[in-house]
A and B are shown apart, each in its own frame.
Chain A
């Protein structure tokens, strides 16, 4: 097997045994990128020069016997995390020329851990979308079927891992933007607990929902990445000072006697029958692992999408106000006065979906509407959170589909925002409740498209999720396929 196809832990073993160098790994990844990137378009920007220099440095460390958790591992960064000196666009024309003078905390941590950054991965503009089609730099394609979308908004990060264009990657998840593309691209994706991974340097979409997390090829790699990413950050006020366990210890443990909750509200009509079958199959696998299945109810589930599409756009309308053409980013030429400069810069700099959400959010916060929309949505959000608190008194973790369908075709939902929004119907609740979730591959459709199963657990129970996901992964032994690119 070629190096670019391996997992982090497999590569680490090879590095440790002296079998391969970081440079060889990086070269393998960039060769693969040369071969497939023009078809997949996972990246907005490649960082080959920086990557090769970082790989050379990693080799020096290896020579000295200094092995950090990610030494020499090629990693892609969603272009929403700020990288010092490297353009960071957030998939938007309005930031096409923005070069941050600072690193996101996760970038610092990954660099400290020895990671080699491959490039900045494509994404829906400002992470608004479920297909990576709203990127100002063109869509990413699903490596399993180039006519289909990779999911979104972290579609580039998911596709890059699936296509062998990196070993692992970083995404961000506001309503499912890690888990849904992970499911659609057949990789593992985790959204940690809100406050677990620093948001400093993550360009904000909806601040109370955004969370950074990893894409990996298996659950053990997810644990390795979480060991690097998780932890308190004094630069973020909503960062939580909770102890971070060694997540790797949860890998390979059994789940004998665990109770896994199946929420009736998540097994609704309209789910693709192949998804439904694969997920029911996953339930049986879990049972075989020695866990018991309990039926639970999350009664406010039906309000999740509505609540989300008030809170997220409301926060976004404010978060995106700073893109005004005054200090950085795109400024329209030929404006005659200040108001026109604002209007033209934002009209030309933002894409349609971003403008739609800014308008929705502005409306939801307007005088006279606040109570009916944002105020009410915040109240219902508290009820959704309470649903989960109650559910977790009855079970250790929850199992649901990740996405109601496998990857859909490019353009299929671009004219129907509501259909697009329903792609996140099973993932949004975790963001509203602030709980962690993970999507793990659970099979393929007849046409060969990957399907994912989602596990959810209580706040700061990432360890539990990893234990369950790894037990499932082992027991399910989902066929190891690779996209035929």
Chain B
């Protein structure tokens, strides 16, 4: 049977505010347990939440960046359930009146760009963390994370394959990081994803029974979990079995999804508007202010790079994959005026060095100014492209300017025709057999002579000059 896959993703992103959403505690990750807590985030009797305005602003940035409509009046609601990591016995979230709705982002697929709808974006508080003692029947509660601000981005069931799901997540992740409102760290849980997935025979209108997948902490795992789950569902349908609507956990080690115990998901959250908070009123002026402060988003930047710098879509994609990288590249281009050559050096050597050292572009020892200078030195013939490889390695290792590296290593290109002619003559003289063959018609041997000259000059000879001299002198 030919099946169509239907996927909808829910993403939780931790916002990079300095303080929590309803109190003044720090949001810093990794502090000693319960050191970032106060009576408010501990849920003590009689304390009250006061909304951190920064959270609304950050959430609005994401809403505008994903083409959502911002609700002029949005309301915090309580999601009620018992768990030891939830001190109040309810999570403050948004339900009937979220911050923003009706958005979308564009993703690239094999069949061209596709629009994936965003149902809603709402603000909420994070829960704490339980630490179970492996040797004793004891669990510890760390409430540092309690009250750290989150946005939940609920996507429409518009995604049609696990690959598209991963692509959608990468795009969302990229936007969040571009906006500098989320650090995007999936391992620390700053960016989390749950997936709803179902299948239906192609052409059928109604959705099939869906399952919800949790516990996937990388783009790759999301894709693997979905691939597994789609196969599992197909197997069930093809064998006349029924799909149960349930929550399933991805088991990374086994590469399978397993049902969560039903007890853990039998929740009636009894949402109702939180009477301790007033509705958030967002007027047009505020929206305009946030909109005007938005940076250029990755998609727009990619399109502009292709247009302005005449580089390929692939190159533009790589160069805009991070805001800092794109800024670095543009700085180099602005300084050297050679967008294509700059793209090759940034994507080639610079990113290779950084990846090897697991460094980000912000930690790159090569200043944009230096890279631009180096490209200029190649252009004016001071160094060859080959020497430049050595120069850039030196720049990366030491952080020094290219001229300094060239001087220290004596790498200046030989452009003195008289000096080079002597070397060429000596090489021709030392290889009479090859000379005879060349003159006899074996023109391929030209390359041999070039190689010999380069070897003799340790690669410092100006290649154009070598070619010219050889052509003249080999001809006799």
Interface 1/0 per residue, A206-221 and B, CB below 8 Å: 1110000000000000
- A327 contacts which of B42, B49, B50, B278 (Cβ < 8 Å)? B42
> How long is the Cα–Cα vector from A314 to B90 in the complex, in angstroms?
13
Residue of B nearest to A311 (CB): B275
Expressed in whole angstroms, the Cα–Cα distance for A206 and B84 within the complex equals 23
Chain B residue numbers with a CB within 8 Å of A204 are 45-46, 276
Most chain B Cβ neighbours within 10 Å, of A207, A237, A365: A237
Q: Are A100 and B45 in contact (CB under 8 A)?
A: yes
Q: Compute how far the CA of A100 lies from the CA of B47 in the bound complex, rounded to whole angstroms.
A: 10
Q: How far is the CA of A321 from the CA of B270 in the complex (A)?
A: 12
Kindly list chain B residues whose C-beta atoms are within 8 Å of the C-beta of A328.
44
Say yes or no: A318 contacts B90, CB within 8 Å.
Answer: yes
- Within the complex, the shortest CB–CB distance from A340 to chain B, in Å, comes to 12
**A326-B84 contact given A202-B46, A366-B270, CB 8 Å threshold:** yes
Interface range on chain B (Cβ under 8 Å from partner): 20 to 34
Is A234 positioned at the interface, with any CB of B under 8 Å from its CB?
yes
- Of all chain A residues, the one with the shortest Cβ separation from B268 is A367
Tell me if B80 and A318 are in contact (CB < 8 A).
Answer: yes
Are the CB atoms of A203 and B87 closer together than 8 Å? no
Are A203 and B49 closer than 8 Å at their CB atoms? no
Closest residue to A98 on the B side, CB-wise?
Answer: B45
A237→B49 contact, CB < 8 A: yes
Which residues 71-108 of A sit at the B interface, judged by CB distance below 8 A? 80-82, 88, 90, 95, 98, 100-102, 104
Q: Please, how many angstroms separate the alpha-carbon atoms of A101 and B38 in the complex?
A: 10
CB of A1 within 8 Å of the partner chain: no
Decide yes or no: A321 and B82 within 8 Å by CB, A202-B46, A237-B49 being known contacts: yes
Q: B48 in the interface, Cβ–Cβ < 8 Å?
A: yes
Mostly, the A contact residues are: loop
A324-354: which have CB < 8 Å to B? 324, 326-328, 338, 342
Q: Which residue of A lies closest to B263 (CB)?
A: A339
Interface contact B89-A238, CB-CB below 8 Å: no
Residues from 350 to 380 in A contacting B, C-beta threshold 8 Å: 362, 365-367, 370, 374
Contact (A90, B270) CB under 8 Å given A237-B51, A321-B89, A322-B87: no
A30 contacts which chain B residues (CB < 8 A)?
A: none
**C-beta contact mask, B431-462 vs A, less than 8 Å → 1, else 0?**
00000000000000000000000000000000
Max count, chain B CB within 10 A of own CB: residue among A203, A317, A318, A362 = A318
Is A200 part of the binding interface, using a Cβ–Cβ cutoff of 8 Å? yes
Report the bound CA distance from A482 to B50 in whole Å: 45
- B309 lies within 8 A of chain A by Cβ: no
Do residues B45 and A90 form an inter-chain contact, with CB atoms below 8 A? yes
- On whether the beta carbons of B45 and A318 are closer than 8 Å, the reply is no
- Which residues of B74-109 are within 8 A (CB) of A? 78, 80, 82, 84, 87-90
Contact call B88/A322, Cβ cutoff below 8 A = yes
Give the docked Cα–Cα distance between A142 and B49 (Å): 37
Contact across chains for A200 and B89 when beta carbons are under 8 A apart: no
Q: Tell me if A199 counts as interface (CB < 8 A to partner B).
A: yes
Q: How large is the interface on A (under 10, 10 to 19, 20 to 34, 35 or more residues)?
A: 35 or more
- Assess whether A253 is interfacial by the CB under 8 Å rule: no
Once the chains bind, are B90 and A237 in contact (CB under 8 Å)? no
Contact B48 A200 (CB under 8 A): yes
- Assess the A338–B45 pair: CB atoms within 8 A: no
Closest to A204 in B: B46
Most buried by A among B44, B48, B49, B87: B48
Tell me, in angstroms, the Cα distance from A104 to B271 when the chains sit together. Answer: 28
Closest-by-CB residue of B relative to A234 is B50
Q: Is B243 an interface residue (CB 8 A)?
A: no
CA distance A318 to B91 in the complex (A): 10
Whole-angstrom distance between the Cβ of B75 and the nearest chain A Cβ:
12
Whether the Cβ atoms of B80 and A365 lie closer than 8 Å is yes
B469 contacts the other chain (CB 8 A) = no
Q: Is the CB of A401 closer than 8 A to any CB of chain B?
A: no
What distance in Å separates the Cβ of A333 from its nearest Cβ neighbour in chain B?
15
Question: Is A100 a contact partner of B89 (Cβ separation < 8 A)?
Answer: no
- Tell me if B89 and A237 are in contact (CB < 8 A): no
Min CB distance A421 to B, Å, is 21
Q: List 14 A-B contacts (CB under 8 A).
A: A82-B45, A98-B45, A102-B44, A199-B48, A200-B48, A201-B46, A204-B46, A234-B50, A235-B50, A238-B276, A318-B80, A324-B84, A342-B82, A367-B268
Question: Which positions in A face B, CB cutoff 8 Å?
Answer: 80-82, 88, 90, 95, 98, 100-102, 104, 199-204, 206-208, 234-238, 314-315, 317-318, 320-322, 324, 326-328, 338, 342, 362, 365-367, 370, 374
Listed from nearest, the 10 A-B pairs whose CB atoms lie closest are A321-B89, A365-B270, A208-B275, A207-B275, A203-B45, A203-B46, A201-B46, A322-B43, A367-B268, A82-B46
